[in-house]
Amino acid sequence: MKIWKRDWGLFGRMAVTMFLLLIVYLIFIGVLAMLGVGIIWLVIFAVGMGFFQYFFSDKIVLWSTGSQLIQEDEFPELHHMVERLCAEADLPKPKIAIMRTPVPNAFATGRSPRHAVVAVTDSIMKVLSPAELEAVIAHELSHVKNRDMLTLTFASFVSMIAAIIMQNFLFASLFGRRDAGGWIIAGIVAAVVYFISRILIMAISRYREFAADRGSAYITGRPRDLISALQKISGRMDRVPPEKKREVESANAFFIIPALSGNTFLELFATHPSLEKRIRNLEMVEEEIRGY
């Protein structure tokens, strides 16, 4: 019997992350105030930024990755697979997209289960067996079920805006009308906002991957299929040309396996847990499912 278990650890982390992001957001508004932006414009910007993020996060991700929505008559087997898994997970069927790239991967985006999109690359459908592809799609549906996509998207947007201020404060201090000291302070605050938001993004991103791996195992009842899929994707990724990986860098944090991992200090800035840790996590879920 397949039983979905609500991940209260992820729920708690998402709540804390959103609270901390609210603080970061308010600091960011304070930075704009320091730059002399009027209160009316601050309110308009804050409301507009929230509205844009909430309603267009899925379209932003699809546009940035070049993914195309597909109809059932184009990929009937893929659509039927998603339908079966949604029935197991008690989810409405999301929109389905294809991303054409030699990077074998998948991701989910959207503000809620009723406004979700699950995307797979054309190459992953060639690399994985049907059972392995099911496990990967179940992983992405777990992100939808956990509602963790919007948290990550919102956090990334705050980080991006802070980075823009941080990168431009020196130019503004040299050529702006206001005194250089004020601009330098604004730049330092923006740098702190950027650093904090990046730490929050990476921390919640790593845990959400663990949670989605577990969710996939509960939906399919076959943790070994996801283990096999992760190993195949990771192995094939090493053979993808670096320039092709850089083309999909914008979706790196959303992918089931990062296209670009790089070296990180104590994994502090890693978007995903290591493959070894994910496999150990899935092996523990397998023992739980089997009852020992």
The residue from 77, 132, 134, 140 that is catalytic is 140
Q: How many CA atoms lie within 13 A of 282 on its CB side?
A: 28
Please state, in angstroms and rounded to a whole number, the distance separating the CA atoms of residues 112 and 195: 28
Structure tokens of 290? 């089997």
Task: Say how far apart CA 192 and CA 87 lie, in whole Å.
Answer: 44
3-state secondary structure of 30: helix
Buried (b) or exposed (e) across 124-148, using 16+ Cβ within 10 A? bbebbeeebbbbbbbbbbbbbbbbb
Active site residue 140: yes
Nearest CA to 104 among 216, 230, 220, 222? 230
Alpha helical stretches, state H, the chain: 8-34, 39-65, 76-89, 122-127, 130-146, 149-175, 180-220, 223-237, 242-247, 275-290
Rounded CA separation 217/285 (Å): 7
Residue 144 C-beta-side C-alpha neighbours within 13 Å: 31
End-to-end CA distance of the chain: 15
- Tokens found for residue 235: 């192995």
211: nearest Cα among 203, 261, 111 = 203
**193 Cβ partners below 8 Å, 6+ apart?**
24, 27, 28, 31, 158, 162
Query: How many whole angstroms from its chain centre is CA 219?
Result: 20
Which residues are known catalytic residues? 140
